[in-house]
Structure 1
Amino acid sequence: MTVPIAIIGTGIAGLSAAQALHAAGHSVHLFDKSHGSGGRMSTKRSDAGALDMGAQYFTARDRRFVEVVQQWQAQGYVAEWTPQLYNYRYGQLSLSPDEQVRWVGNPRMSAITRAMRGDLPVTFSCRITEVFRGVQHWSLQDAEGVTHGPFSHVIIATPAPQATTLLAAAPKLAGVAAGVLMEPTWAVALAFDTPLETPMEGCFVQDNPLDWLARNRSKPGRASTPDTWVLHASSAWSKKHLDLPKEAVIEALHGAFAELLGCAMPAPAFTLAHRWLYARPATAHEWGTLSDSDLGVYVCGDWCLSGRVEGAWLSGQEAARRLLEHLD
């Protein structure tokens, strides 16, 4: 019997590692605390349609990732997004065109991780709380007290603070992960029955509670009605208002949005707020992956590299590469 490799987390990093290992002929089993894959690439289903509350778009710079994105595009679950972009600074709104190629999942961000997952075995709604090693193999324990295993190796593909708690059996790696600071982001969606009168489709915001906003229907494959907007608060504002009730967060960010547009804004027909506790790493790192090959534990995630979607994918590839190297 071949003993599979356990992968905790089904965001881009975990799925990237899973695909690489599967392609090399190894069996893997994925676990995720959510009821679907994607992590911060996931999509919220709502009365106003599917909403990308996490990653808004991504770019591709590394040759390996560019090739993968081109494959995704050919398969139809990624499309280029060319929004009318603005900048808001010191209370002034200005057009901010650039040459950057931006990609989005099509028809929603989660299309990417759903396609990456394919038919790989995965256990959803399963929060792993402990990773421990027996004489020969690894086992995982979940929040319900159920033990999963045996596994030959473990890849932890979660935000750094969650990875830290799972690395009790690898104290050196736990120490590194514990030193990574992840910043929060409040995300709010607002839907309007009457479209807002603005050509803006995306906006980078400075000196404001907001950091970013996007018009959902400007993205390929999205429904055009209602007129839905996703607003991201800045890390500084989110940190300060981490425990604010959702209604108060919606009110504050709706107010900041109205002020930015400088027009009377109708009351939204629908609102939604989501708090990302670990939205992005405070600083970029160049580890690629953290590993203890002798123990058989590997850690990957966007926080091991650039903090971007591309960084997450590359980190997963690197974790798989090191594991395979050790097996040779």
Structure 2
Amino acid sequence: MSTPIAIIGAGVAGLSAAHALHAAGLDIQLFDKSRGSGGRMASKRSEAGVLDLGAQYFTVRDRRFAEVVAQWRQQGWVAQWSPNLYHFNRGQLSHSPDEQERWVGTPRMSAITRGLLGELPAHFTRRITEIFRSDRHWHLQDAEGETHGPFSRVLIAAPAPQAAALLGAAPKLAAAAASVQMEPTWAVALAFDTPLDTRVEGCFVQEGPLDWLARTRSKPGREDQPDTWVLHGSSAWSKQHLGLPKEDVIELLHGAFAELIGCAVPAPRFTLAHRWLYARPTQGHQWGALADGDLGIYACGDWCLSGRVEGAWLSGQEAARRLLEHLG
């Protein structure tokens, strides 16, 4: 039996790579610090329904990604989302002319990564803190002190700062990952007993503490949920208020939302805040993936390309391609 390949991270990039390697007949094992798959595509169950606190939607530009999204659609994992989209700028709320195709997971964003995970072998609630070589094989150590291995190769599919910390055995790759700056985002969910009297279903905010807001029930598969809204703080505001208590974040972003939405906003019956420390890279790169084929260590993620969901999937494919190419 062949020595398996370890993949650290069960978000879109890690699962994209896992699928490609599994399809090529290789044994893989996934590790993730969370309780389930998804990364920033994860959804949270709550008393107000399922909340997409991270990625709100995704777009398609690359032909290869378009082909896989068509397959996801046939499997019922995704649907097109066409919200009443607005912009808020200079104190004015105006309808957006943007007609770009947007896609969401159904009935939640995490449906995509749940579908990709399938029956692949995965270890959750395992935060990997160290990667080391012994007897020409790789071993992983988790936060509980448990060691996993041996593995023939390791593929790291984590945000750039976390990847850099694990790439000590490959200094050039570690330096590349460490050069990537990633921005934080505070996400807040608000649920109301009575639906708000507004046509807005999605809004790009150009000023103040908010960057984006979305009405959950406007998305396919969520129509029966309470009137729940997800608000994203801007990167600058989130960075400035990174250590603020969640209650204060909710209060401030709720206030900003009430000021711009253009209708009466009562006290919400449910609130929740989540801090994404590494929400998005500050700029795109064209690496595709990072690889040291001789050492057998690879890294991928949206930060290797566009910073978008599509970039994460393509980066996972590229990491798998380079690994398979080196196997020859």
Using structure 1 for the length normalisation, give the TM-score.
Answer: 0.99
Shift of 1:136: 1.5
- Whole-angstrom distance in 1 between the partners of 2:210 and 2:29: 39
Amino acid of the residue matched to residue 92 of structure 1? Q
Partner residue, 1:147: 147
What residue number does 1:23 align with?
23
Moved over 6 A (4+): none
Tell me how far 1:223 sits from its aligned partner. Answer: 4.2
Amino acid of the structure 1 residue aligned with 2:294:
D
One-letter amino acid matched to 2:55: A
How far has the Cα of 1:262 moved from its partner? Answer: 3.3
| Amino acid paired to 1:112 | I
Which residues in structure 2 correspond to 1:252-267 (within 5 Å)?
252-267=252-267
Please say if residues 49 and 223 of structure 1, whose CA atoms lie closer than 8 Å, have aligned partners that are also in contact: no
Q: Residue 92 in 1 paired to residue 97 in 2?
A: no
The 1-side partners of 2:312 and 2:174 are apart by 19
Q: Using the alignment, how far apart are the partners of 2:274 and 2:223 within structure 1? A: 21
Aligned to 1:166: 166
Residue identity matched to 1:122: A
Number of the residue aligned with 1:68: 68
Is contact 2:86–2:204 with CA below 8 Å preserved after alignment? yes
Q: Distance in 1 between matches of 2:238 and 2:46?
A: 23
Give the C-alpha shift of residue 171 in structure 1. 1.1
CA shift, 1:261, in A, is 1.6
2:277 alignment counterpart = 277
Cα offset, 1:225, TM superposition: 3.5
The one-letter code matched in structure 1 to 2:68 is V
Cα distance in structure 1, aligned partners of 2:97 and 2:49: 28
In structure 1, how many angstroms separate the alpha carbons of the residues matched to 2:304 and 2:102? 22
Offset, 1:15: 0.2
Tell me by how many angstroms 1:301 deviates. Answer: 0.2
| Residue equivalent to 1:309 | 309
Deviations 1:189-215 (A, max 9, x none): 000010000011000000110000000
1:236 Cα offset (Å): 0.3
Q: 2: distance between equivalents of 1:225 and 1:43?
A: 14
**3-state SS in 1 of match to 2:30:** strand
Q: Distance in 2 between matches of 1:71 and 1:181?
A: 33
Amino acid at match of 1:225: Q
Residues of 2 paired with 1:225 and 1:65: CA distance? 30
| Count of residue correspondences | 328
**Residue aligned with 1:73, SS:** helix
Q: Measure how far apart 1:287 and its partner are.
A: 0.3
User: In structure 1, what is the equivalent of residue 240 of structure 2?
Assistant: 240
1:123-145 residue CA offsets vs partner (Å, 9 max, x unmatched): 00000000011122100000011
Query: Which amino acid counterpart does residue 125 of structure 2 have in structure 1?
Result: S
Gaps of 5+ in 2: none
Partners of 2:124 and 2:207 in 1: CA distance: 40
Tell me what 1:83 maps to.
83
Question: Please, what is the CA RMSD of the aligned residues?
Answer: 0.7
Given residue 207 of structure 1, which amino acid in structure 2 is its aligned partner?
A: E
1:322 equivalent in alignment to 2:307 = no
Whether the aligned pair in 1 keeps the contact of 2:287 and 2:304 (CA below 8 Å) is yes
Contact 2:196–2:263 at 8 Å: present in 1 too? no
**Unpaired segments of 5 or more residues in structure 1?**
none
Write the distance in 1 (CA, Å) between the matches of 2:98 and 2:160: 32
**1:29-76 CA-partner distances (Å, limit 9, x unpaired):** 000000000000000111101000000000011000000000000110
Q: Tell whether the 8 Å contact from 1:167 to 1:174 is kept in structure 2 after alignment.
A: yes
CA distance in 2, matches of 1:242, 1:144: 27
